[in-house]
Amino acid sequence: GAQELRFDGQTVVVTGAGGGLGKAYSLFFASRGANVVVNDLGGSFKGEGSGSKAADAVVEEIKSKGGKAVANYDDVSNGEAIIDTAIKAFGRVDVLLNNAGILRDVSFKNMKDQDWDLIFKVHVKGAYKCARAAWPHMRQQKYGRIINTASVAGLFGSFGQCNYSAAKLAQVGFSETLAKEGMKYNILVNCIAPIAASRMTETVMPPEVLSALKPDRIVPLVAVLVHSSNTTETGSIFEVGAGHQAKIRWERSKGLLLKADSSLTPGSVIAGWDKVNDFSEAEYPQGPANFLELLEESQKISKNSTGEKISFK
Ligand code: NAI
């Protein structure tokens, strides 16, 4: 028969693990042999209040099934305390799932600094502080796997969620940079944009859709990414949910190349707009365009490359 992916002897830290996706991760990794740190602040989905019940219930469930877990109730913006719990209880940290999150939905017109700041505190500062605290341990042991949680709201925008969208796309840049810095130390960092039924989505999706979107369905892809058998997949973005697992990547059009001198005017850009938007010869970049090469090429252009009549300058 097929072998199980196992995590024996490893410590997996799951933030926001008192419910939803975080609970599903915790139960799974514990069932596959991992020591799990079940972190949850225990507040409302809007980030109000706190309590120990949510994390405790998950720890109890893991223990009742013979697994190993400890609870932590700190706010993710206090990442050191969460990683400390892992080190004190289990002596190491191998996997960090930055999963805790809240929503403060409001139209941009009515957005208050408080709604903006709290979203950034939990999602951006939280992911940073937890990863920052885990990093020295992962570097030292030359092993680490981190998942940051983005959202389709961040990738594509979403009405009433400008704070959440901005914080969620931040996970992409954060992951891409940590992937580069972590490579040498066998620390792999990926980003997921999940879609699943939880208290966070129950107000925005109809019940029949929600029942098909179990948080458990997010777990397998995450397990594959954070397992030691993954040695190459890093700095990537995955959209996952409802049985679908897909990769998202950047696409750059071949673009409009004009001579880089004073003949480059708004009018010459308008004249070549089709080329800016032409994805027929697109590439899928892992980094910025080669500016030196482009500059050299652009110097060879004698006149406006489109050859069209320009009516604006
Ligand atoms: P959820 O509300 O069930 O779980 C989030 C957990 O994080 C809660 O248990 C909450 O108490 C905890 N939490 C909130 N603030 C915290 C803090 N400061 N410190 C520690 N714990 C804190 O929601 P769900 O759906 O499981 O969300 C998990 C992650 O997935 C979030 O980052 C969310 O933004 C993201 N996500 C979820 C989607 C979905 O379709 N469910 C869609 C896109 C992203």
The tens digit of pLDDT for each residue in 93-106 reads 999 999 999 999 99
Q: What is the pLDDT of residues 27-41, one digit of tens each?
A: 999 999 999 999 999
Residue 236 contacts residue 192 (beta carbons within 8 Å): no
Res 302: pLDDT? 76
**Can you tell me which atom of ligand 1 is nearest the CA of 241?**
40
Res 311: pLDDT? 75
How many domains does the structure of the chain reveal?
2
CA 101 to ligand 1 center in whole angstroms: 4
**Do 191 and 255 fall into the same domain?**
no
Please state whether beta strands 244-248 and 237-241 pair in parallel, antiparallel, or not at all (unpaired): antiparallel
- pTM of this structure: 0.96
Last residue of a domain, one of 207, 227, 248: 248
Question: How far is Cα 134 from Cα 155, in angstroms, rounded to an integer?
Answer: 26
**ipTM score:** 0.99
**Do 304 and 241 fall into the same domain?**
no
> What is the CATH number for 242?
3.40.50.720
CB within 8 Å of 73: residues ≥ 6 apart: 39, 40, 41, 42, 50, 51, 52, 55
Residue keyed to tokens 């948080």: 215
Res 257: pLDDT? 97
Q: What is the pLDDT of residues 153-170, one digit of tens each?
A: 999 999 999 999 999 999
CA 265 to ligand 1 center in whole angstroms: 47
Average of pLDDT values for 37-61?
97
**Do 256 and 238 fall into the same domain?**
no
- Percentage with pLDDT > 90 across the chain: 89
Q: Which helix (H) or strand (E) holds 156?
A: helix 152-156
Residue keyed to tokens 């009405």: 159
Higher per-residue confidence, 3 vs 234: 234
Question: How far is Cα 189 from Cα 238, in angstroms, rounded to an integer?
Answer: 12
Evaluate whether residue 199 is within a structural domain: yes
Q: Which of 14, 15, 21 to mutate to test the pocket of ligand 1 (most atoms within 8 A of CB)?
A: 21
CB-CB neighbours of 203 under 10 Å: 9
- Percentage with pLDDT > 70 across the chain: 97
Last residue of a domain, one of 197, 228, 248: 248
Average of pLDDT values for 250-267?
96
Q: What is the pLDDT of residues 56-91, one digit of tens each?
A: 999 999 999 999 999 999 999 999 999 999 999 999
> What is the CATH number for 295?
1.10.287.4290
Rounded alpha-carbon distances, angstroms, from residue 91 to 3, 9, 62, 247:
27, 10, 19, 34
Last residue of a domain, one of 191, 214, 248: 248
CA 300 to ligand 1 center in whole angstroms: 53
CB within 8 Å of 120: residues ≥ 6 apart: 163, 166, 167
Res 285 pLDDT > 80:
yes
Verify whether residue 164 is a known catalytic residue.
yes
User: The domain containing residue 176 runs over which residues?
Assistant: 11-248
Question: How far is Cα 235 from Cα 218, in angstroms, rounded to an integer?
Answer: 18
Q: Could you say which of 128, 143, 164, 185 is catalytic? A: 164
